[in-house]
Structure 1
């Protein structure tokens, strides 16, 4: 395991690094409200061994997986045009925070100092229709030496409706309000496949090239109500527009976390800002 220190100083002005853990990693995605405890323990082990929070402003974003995909179906929240029971809105958010609470407990048990933030309380829709993430509390947690932990959730819209808000959207909203250096998207795939039949992974995609890959980005092969790979690519495009690089890579490479954050090594598809 790589013990290299992250090359940034922990203070409110330093750059931020975001690690997004896909729902296929954090949960047993085809199960029913079932965490993948082995993977969460591995995440805790690597972060604790490298003491990542002492050397970097690190934020963890967890995909909802079997929690975020099953709850909308179970509570009849998939189709916004259907009549729905208001109580089910509360149940959806309760389910998501139960997942986040359990992940937090595992990380704390492994002596990783984290603090959970509920997406539904921090995300709101602006009058322009764009989404906004209130980050002040997250930054305060970072200044206390804590790692903010957040996931997707149900959020309210200006028109009185709601939306199932993907955790893939979170890094871009944070990047709008801070100096994010790099975002890692850990998944159950090796990178962005240009040919799924041969598992041929594109090693590098620049901002001016990303649109030409959109037709290859389909929905997840597993249940996914938030757009799968296509939405992930759209969100990465927004990061590139903010001059933030990203990498989509396999969770099998998580032991190289520090090297990947520092861009010393690339295991998957590297998304590069600029032309």
Structure 2
């Protein structure tokens, strides 16, 4: 891995060749591998920027993934160029926009595979409960700061809405129970994974502490003709400090498409809904689907 730093603006670029162990079950680079590179690039530039001032040393902790678009697949043997730039700062948070470009080092062909927007909060190394103030950045045009502020207020509102949903509980379904459910229902698609966190799962700040047990639960909320939205909850259960009890650590929405062996989209079976709650989640997912579709079309129109 190589790291390039641009002194002219708060931005960096990480380069890494994709190896066979980065592949998913169909041979493309695993989405989780790309997400990890994106998060690391944001952490590096956020941490570096927040430590340009005097005071407590800090590490930028990921607070929210605003959006991550997978535009094209990346393949084993290609070089990933991950570019991260700070585009807005509030008093206690940093917006980082990341672009991932793949390079075929044999032919020289390049293409943009991913775009992402993430938010980080700088936390003191001496006291992880202490949030450090973020030094401001210089904007080349006044409208850049205004647009950034609008994005900040919008994601702040969405965070509040997410907190309201964090009380949702997913009843774990065993493999034997799953086979008794009707196909194409939410219950049929639901799954859970229990994982014991180790040192290799920790960030620089050690937030995912070794010894915490996490339960990752997922359920399907929406399907279109060629895509599926999955809502994921991550609950943590400390082993050492058991008196603290289980708590909701992460919630997220992932959108997947079904691909054949030639990476062409396949039709997705319609989701069978049972009850008002599932219908409500489906309509909310449909709204997000239409909103993201409009954003993707707008991004394509802006591309040269």
TM-score normalised per structure 2: 0.26
Q: Please state which structure has a larger fraction of its residues in helix.
A: 1
TM-score normalised per structure 1: 0.28
Q: Please state which structure has a larger fraction of its residues in strand.
A: 2
Flag the structure with more relative contact order, 1 or 2, with Cα contacts below 8 A and sequence separation at least 6.
1
Q: From the CA coordinates, give the structure whose radius of gyration is larger.
A: 2
